[in-house]
Amino acid sequence: MTRVLVTGAGGFIGHHLVSYLRARGYWVRGVDIKLPEYTPSSAHEFLLLDLRYWENCLAATEGIDEVYALAANMGGIGFIETNKAVIVRDNTLINMHSIEAARVNHVRRFLYTSSACIYPGYLQKSPEVTALREADAYPADPEDGYGWEKLYMERTCRHYTEDFGLETRTVRFHNIYGPLGTYDGGGEKSPAAICRKIALAAEDDVIEVWGDGEQTRSYCYIDDCVEGIYRLMRSDYREPLNLGRDELVSINGLVDIVAGIAGKRISKRYDLGKPQGVRGRNSDNTLLREVLGWEPGIALADGLRPTYEWIDEQVCSPAAASSASA
């Protein structure tokens, strides 16, 4: 039985990935600084470890064949733009200690989870953005802080393969969403934030939208995400690869889809002073299809329905109401 480690297993994607790998017959060790928030982990073993520290990374990778490295300090655009030093410090320590410990402990494969935030800002100035190809990463101009540390770690993976023979894989996430993800507290992404606001809204209410709502994104449902991660790990492809949908939508459009799912009439109030990130970002899946013979297939509206229903249950259930009034 192949023994795998999922770091960041207490987080949204990591939690789903643990379940996916266990269902496929892997022995799974989950590691995080926290336990999963909403449902227990299905990992065979779960270790509470702070991976900023070298000795913890050695313990995490001991006896492991393959590492899925998802651990990171991150959140939504508001968090990313106001915590740059913390993000760069924490994630650099996690990343460097994790890959070096994997080398020392003779791990066979190491998959690093990067981000579409590595793509240059000068290519993302229009809502009608041209879909971003993997080769567009250079000349570099990534998201300040978070994007730079992701891009640096991509190069580190390449060098560990070239110099040490550690088989590395690198995936660039494009806005992953779905049930069991953070939906409040500042760490949530836009689909979860909008689902929460609409779940809490009454008929004909007004919700706040950051920016003018015309900024565009593509979103990838969690089930497609974990399958794509697994397919890349099993492939022979060593270069960074996009993992996202190429279904572009504006934030205004995202609000309208969720309102339709909720069956509510909702108006928008724009806050131009809040962080809104780049004007447009979309995934070019040409290389993804060539390398994996596959691409994410769950349409945005189809993925938003279970996401909204789960968040609605969290914030509007009797238990949630009792907690809020306590």
User: Can you identify the CATH homologous superfamily of domain 178-218+247-283+298-314?
Assistant: UDP-galactose 4-epimerase, domain 1 (3.90.25.10)
Tens of pLDDT, residue by residue, the chain (326 residues): 999 999 999 999 999 999 999 999 999 999 999 999 999 999 999 999 999 999 999 999 999 999 999 999 988 888 899 999 999 999 999 999 999 999 999 999 999 999 999 999 999 999 999 999 999 999 999 999 999 999 999 999 999 999 999 999 999 999 999 999 999 988 899 999 999 999 999 999 999 999 999 999 999 999 999 999 999 999 999 999 999 999 999 999 999 999 999 999 999 999 999 988 899 999 999 999 999 999 999 999 999 999 999 999 999 976 665 555 44
Q: What is the pTM of this model?
A: 0.95
Short-list 293, 178, 175, 286, CA closest to 232: 293
Catalytic residues: 146
φ and ψ of 225, to 5 deg = -60, -50
Q: Name the region of 274 (left: φ>0; alpha: ψ -120 to 50; beta: rest).
A: beta
Q: Tell me the domain boundaries of the chain.
A: 3-176+220-243, 178-218+247-283+298-314
Residues 6+ apart with CB under 8 A from 323: none
Q: Token pair of 110, please? A: 């190491």
Angle at 11 between CA 229 and CA 42, to 5 degrees: 80
Q: Who's near 310: CB < 8 A, 6+ residues apart?
A: 179, 180
Does CATH place domain 3-176+220-243 in 3.20.20.80?
Answer: no
